Structure 1
Amino acid sequence: MPAARESLLDAAYTALARRPWSAVRMVDVAAAAGVSRQTLYNEFGSKEGLARALVRREADGYLAGVERALATHTDPCGRLTAAAEWTASAARDNALVRAMLTGCWSERLPAPTLAAVPSSSAVPAQRRADGPLPSPGDLVRIVRDRAVMVLGGPGTAKADDCELARSCEFVVRLALSCVAAPPGEGGIAELVRGALPGQVI
């Protein structure tokens, strides 16, 4: 029941914006989503399962945004700048994305273990959520690899590929530094342009 699952995740996310995760009650999440508490437990199994599913959804949403950002321009610098700006923006606007990218989980947030947990769920999406959740290092590697895939065409030489991977990872890490210490307006684009070697971009 994908629609109910998304409604429950939306309700949990909204509840989390209003109160600490420890004060979010399953019965309130179910009521806000317009489903029974039993439906909530059928989908997620427990509050921990709901937390894992919420973190997984926000990670997937962040990565989908990276894909969109990398597709918005034709030039490599523009693509990397868009991905860096999306990373900083997503972390600024979404506390769960910020925690996933930085590894800094406040007491207000759910902090599920990143390791896989035993899953007896019959719901495929929950089995995936019960699998390993991405660490900050995992997310850096995923974004770097996606950027390399978009930017490195079939004619890229191995040496160029290594340099491209280093540059892409550098841009992701530069974006993360902007999460902690935001630059002024237009600052990320200037930082990316100034930091990338001309032969890579």
Structure 2
Amino acid sequence: MPAARESLLDAACSALARRPWSAVRMVDVAAAAGVSRQTLYNEFGSKEGLARALVRREADGFLAGVERVLAGTGDPRERLTATAEWTASAARENALVRAMLTGCWSERLPSPTLKAVPSSSTVPAQRRADGALPSPGDLVALVRDRAVAVLSGPGTPGPDAADLTRSCELVVRLALSCVAAPPPDGGVAELVRTSLSSQLTS
């Protein structure tokens, strides 16, 4: 029931924007989504299951944004700069993304365990939500590896590929530092361009 699942996640996200997670009630989420409370429990199992699915969806949305930016036009430096800007922007606009990237979960947010949890559900989407959630280190590696895969073309020599991997990791970590301590005037792009000026060529 994908449509109901998305509606429930949207309703949970809207509720979280208005009140702390501890005050979000399952019955209210179900009502806002226009489904029964039983449907909500069938889909997610518990409030913890709903929290895990919500965090998973926001992580997937963040990573999809990374891929869109990396698939854009421009040389590797510009695409990595755009990736850093997207990371800082996504974290600024979405408290769950910020918490996932930094590992700092405020009392307002759900803080589901990152490790996998046992599941008896036969719903594929639920099993996926029961899998391990990405830690900040996992997200660094995922973004770095996606950047390397997109920006390294066929026939790239070994040393250049190694340089690209180092540059991609540097950019991701610079972006995360800007999430934790934003530079004046949001100067993420300038920081990244300066750092990459001697590392990557067009």
Q: TM (normalized to structure 2)?
A: 0.96
Q: Please name the residue that 2:171 is paired with.
A: 171
Shift of 1:199: 4.5
Give the counterpart letter for 2:68 in structure 1: R
* Superposed displacement of residue 181, structure 1: 2.0
Q: Which amino acid aligns with 2:143?
A: V
Distance in 1 of aligned mates of 2:137 and 2:122: 30
Paired letter, 2:157: A
Deviation sequence 1:152-197 (CA, Å, 0-9, x none): 1112122221111111000001011111222244611211110014
Distance 2:184 2:92 in 1: 14
2:57 pairs with 1:57: yes
List runs of 5+ in structure 2 lacking aligned partners.
none
The equivalences for 1:111-126 within 5 A come to 111-126=111-126
- Secondary structure of the structure 2 residue equivalent to 1:3: helix
- The aligned residue for residue 127 of structure 1 is 127
Q: Percent of aligned pairs with the same residue?
A: 82
Runs (4+) off by over 3 Å: none
Q: How does 1:95-174 map to 2 (within 5 A)?
A: 95-174=95-174
The number of equivalent residue pairs is 201
Q: Kindly provide the amino acid, as one letter, of the partner of residue 162 in structure 2.
A: C
Kindly indicate whether the alpha-carbon contact (under 8 Å) linking 2:163 and 2:199 is maintained by their aligned counterparts in 1: no
Partner of 2:105: helix, strand, or coil?
A: coil
Alpha-carbon distance in structure 1 between the residues aligned to 2:200 and 2:152:
10
Query: Where does residue 18 of structure 2 map in the other structure?
Result: 18
Secondary structure of 1:106 counterpart: coil
Residues 69-80 of structure 1: pairs in structure 2 closer than 5 A = 69-80=69-80
Instruction: Give distance in 1, aligned partners of 2:136 and 2:78.
Output: 24
Unaligned runs of 5+ in 1: none
Question: For the Cα contact (< 8 Å) 1:140–1:172, is it kept in 2?
Answer: yes
Partner Cα distance (1:101, 1:107) in 2: 16
1:91–1:186 distance in 2 versus 1, CA, 3 Å: closer
Contact map agreement 1:72 1:82 (CA 8 A) in 2: no
| Partner residue, 1:37 | 37
| CA–CA distance in structure 2, aligned partners of residues 3 and 199 of structure 1 | 46
- Could you state the TM-score of these two structures normalised by the residue count of structure 1? 0.97
